[in-house]
Structures are given as structure tokens and as C-alpha cells.
Amino acid sequence: MTKKELTLEVIERLRKEYPDADCTLDYNEAWKLLISVRLAAQCTDARVNVVVQDLYAQYPDINAVADAPVEKIEEIVCPCGLGKSKARDISACMKILRDEYGGQVPDDFDALLKLPGVGRKSANLIMGDVFGKPAIVTDTHCIRLVNRIGIVDGIKEPKKVEMELWKLVPPEEGSSFCHRLVYHGRDVCTARTKPYCDKCCLSDLCGKNGVDN
């Protein structure tokens, strides 16, 4: 089986296993997803979803967040860790959206990358989830699973994994595929415990790289 054939089969099986998989960060506007994905660095999505409720209760729109003292933002987001740098990035990002983009999140990948605190993972998430454009989000689950399965071989750098996946994953499948990898990585192909290979829909395909039998 070629890498392409393996990838397509994994995509199909995960689609059947997790038909409703979606972004696990709660948001109803694009700018809120930008904030949440920044807060999610080294923090669980579940905690982020709680913390942002307090942020939006005090600062309900882009203008309000942009005008808020950075210290106040930091007080609210500190439970997510790295409060100082995250608050600084959020404040600067909202100011740019207000002043340069008329309060709208740009739908251009390169423009997103220029926003404070936005890297390739965040930009891809926005492109895929908000704008429905081709996207591959190489978060820790994605990187770990595609290496473990054998879709990529020993590549750990996020951008390099992303570039390899672009060669293998149909563009229209990228965003959903990455969301399903998150679900699978949390429920079955776990990192902190031995993976539950006995109940894995990919068990007969998986290379089980790095897994002790």
C-alpha cells in the first residue's frame, strides 16, 4: 500500500468513526476563534472554552478587546498559562483587526500569519473552519498520529508534517481529517497511556511506530 493509498483509507475510516468531528474550541465569530486558538497554546481546549466566557462577558466585541488594558486581559486569561504573552498578542491582534481590517478577520493565509500570535497552525484552523478553504492543522495529535500510523516517517516539525500531508490529503479533506485525528488521539490513540489498539478502527493499517506491543 502506498502512502497515498494508506492516507485515503485512514481518512475514510476516521470519517465513519467520527462523522461529526469538529473544532473543539467554542466560538461563534471568527475573531473569537483567533483568541481561543492563541490561548490554547500549552492549554486544554476545555479550559480555554471556560476562560473566554469571562473575557467576552467584560469585552464583548473586537473594539472592546482592542481598547481593554492589557493587564486586565492578562488577569482574565492567566488560567490558560503564559498570560503575559498571550494577553499582549490578543490585544495587538484585535487592534490590527479594528484599525486595518475594519473589524473583520482576513481570509488570506499570509495576512493571517502577520497577525500577532498567529502561526501556521492557527492560520490553517481559521482558513478551514471559518472560511471553508483547504487547510491542514498540524497540532500535537496530528503530528503524533500520522507518524505512529506511518503516513509520514519520523517527521516532528509541524511545517514539514504539513507539507508532507499536502501531498497526500485531498485539499477538501484536510480540515475535517485533522479534527478527526484530534478525536482519535484523545479517545483511542492516546499519548499518556498505552493506545487502545484493540478498539482502533485503524489497527490493521497502523504501523504502530513507537508503540510497545
Q: Which residues are catalytic?
A: 121, 139
At residue 162's C-alpha, the angle toward residues 136 and 183, to 5°, is 50
Q: What is the DSSP letter of 171?
A: G
Torsion (CA) 109, 7, 22, 28 in degrees, nearest 10: 10
Task: Name the nearest CA neighbour of 50 among 62, 36, 60, 61.
Answer: 36
Helix (H/G/I), strand (E/B), else coil: 73: helix
Task: Name the nearest CA neighbour of 107 among 37, 31, 165, 162.
Answer: 31
C-alpha 112: how far from its chain's center? 14
* Contacts with 121 (C-beta within 8 Å, 6 or more apart), sequence order: 37, 137, 138, 139, 158
* CA gap 135, 128 in Å, rounded: 5
Q: What is the DSSP letter of 192?
A: S
CA atoms within 13 A on the CB side of 69: 3
